[in-house]
Amino acid sequence: MCKKTNSSTDGTSFQGVTIKASVQDLINVLGEPTIQDNTGEDKVNFEWDMETDEGDVFTIYDWKEYRKLDLDEQIDFHIGSFSRSISSDAQYEVMRELGNYVE
């Protein structure tokens, strides 16, 4: 299970991997966001700094919504990491926690 990280996520970036969820869904499985400023005035309203089961850091964040988000609205969240494979691993772990992945 992925968990919050105390390690730096500086230098992570979007690798083309997203996850569809609501802010509330993510709060329920990941806890409170590392960053939250749901004003729509910046590129990101919510961000979680996490790490995979293997200890690889990643971030989950909304990107350029430029509006206040309804906490129950389903949107595509970006996953940022150091590689596409880490982002894919993170996607799998988060989807599993959300109950959206069939093994």
Q: What is the pLDDT of residues 11-64, one digit of tens each?
A: 999 999 999 999 999 999 999 999 999 999 999 999 999 999 999 999 999 999
Q: CA-CA distance, 32 to 98, in Å (whole number)?
A: 15
Question: Measured on CA atoms in the order 60, 100, 55, 80, is the torsion positive or negative?
Answer: negative
Q: How far apart are CA 102 and CA 75, in angstroms?
A: 21
Who's near 82: CB < 8 A, 6+ residues apart? 11, 12, 56, 57
pLDDT at residue 1, rounded to an integer: 84
Rounded to two decimals, what is the model's pTM? Answer: 0.94
